[in-house]
Amino acid sequence: MNTKRVVITGIGIISPIGNSKSDFWSSLIGGKGGIGPNTKFDVSEHTSKIAGEVKNFDASHLINSKEARRMDGFVQYALVAADEAIKDAKLDLQNENPERMGCIVSSGIGGLITIEEQHKILLEKGPKRISPFLIPMLIINMASGQIAINYNLKGPNLAVVTACASSNHGIGEAYRIIQNSKADVMVVGGSENAITPLGLAGFCSARALSTRNDDPEHASRPFDKERDGFIMAEGAAIIILESLEHALARNADIVAEIVGYGATCDAYHMTAPDPGARGAVRSMELALEDAGISPDKVDYINAHGTSTRLNDKIESKAIKLAFKEHAKKLMVSSTKSMTGHMLGAAGAIEASATALALKEGIIPPTINYSVPDPDCDLDYVPNEARKVDFSIALSNSLGFGGHNATIAIKKFNES
């Protein structure tokens, strides 16, 4: 069966380093981080007291106060990012067939703050005081559901939940849907709003977070020898995918082309990556096989790069195993050094960064890289963006449960 080519035509961002595509990109290439003290609640008893918070978020132009009270923050982030992405793509939805437009928006955790707030009400005031909107506020599929309601998207609609690989898997599945002619347009991405007392405590107890509380700006330091954990972050990224045929017919501005998708599982441990790195290796190999691209043609990898001891070591190993001698020629960076770890939204925001890097010819850096680690010995584009014309990139996401997802993205060329 002939499959359709799939392109990116719009991007919407809510993040710790900017609440628009332009602000996000400007921060990335300027090496501007968004990590600071956690101001959301009292963190005096938490071991990690820092976070990548969204600043100055305003949804009032899109969501009225009554709707906002019935909508968890992760859904609000997703809606605002989707609105920007649709506008960025210049999609005239009135002239589209709603049954040919779908939506996949993922989250790793969903409405955790809603659960915490309503559980407190349950304990203090009893079950009769629980909000009738509790369940629709907390369930992860409500982001994609609300976007579909707002924009009359009647095609395939779902949410992929694979921890920190969620939105990369979502992009891959949306890519397949368009490839196989099941939709012309897919609104796809991820959203997270899990910086809550319980969410932070859970990751603190797992000893997964940085405790560089006195120096938050330098706490997220992927691949650096002195890294001590990731930093929780929040926000959303939404991408508009279209078949090339559909995009060209409406003269859309194409950002980049998705050309491959790989998905595997370590089948090893709940939270730790397989020491042999085979799952991550195979995920990259499958994406390249799907794209029909040999490893030596890849120029850049936007790494999962969490700033944890194990992830960065094992992902570096996986890249060396997958690319062999070519690994030394690859540019590899982790934009989590600036955004922090947006959990289920990480894949979408990093795929967005990768697509913009291809279009603009600028590789975003890994900031806070100062002490080389013998276990991490690749070119991590340290501290400063690199202007270079390049053609092919991968974006990796690796999640708890051993989930691996890789997207292959190519600089757009119509031929």
Active site residues: 164, 304, 341
Instruction: Report the alpha-carbon angle 264-101-70, nearest 5.
Output: 85
Site of tokens 């981080």: 33
- CA 83, distance to chain mean position in Å, is 17
CA distances from 378 to 4, 29, 248, 298, 302 (A): 35, 20, 38, 14, 13
Measured between its terminal Cα atoms, the distance across the chain in Å is 20
CA dihedral sign, ordered 48, 54, 58, 59: negative
Q: Which two tokens stand for residue 303?
A: 């790494």
Cβ proximity of 89 and 252 under 8 Å = yes
Q: Which residues of 158-185 are buried (b: 16+ CB within 10 A; e: fewer)?
A: bbbbbbbbbbbbbbbbbbebbbeeebbb
DSSP 310-353: HHHHHHHHHHHHHHGGGGGG-EEE-THHHH-B-GGGHHHHHHHH
Rounded to 10 deg, the angle between the 73-88 and 142-151 helix axes is 40
CA distances from 132 to 71, 114, 196 (A): 12, 12, 22
**What torsion, rounded to 10 degrees, do the Cα atoms 23, 55, 80, 179 define?**
60
What is the distance between the alpha carbons of residues 36 and 161, in angstroms, rounded to a whole number?
Answer: 28
Which amino acid would we find at residue 358? L
Which amino acid would we find at residue 324? K
* Phi/psi-derived region of residue 388, left when phi > 0, alpha when psi is between -120 and 50, beta in every other case: beta
What is the distance between the alpha carbons of residues 340 and 311, in angstroms, rounded to a whole number?
Answer: 14
β-strand pairing of 300-302 with 331-333: parallel
Q: Which two tokens stand for residue 23?
A: 């602000």
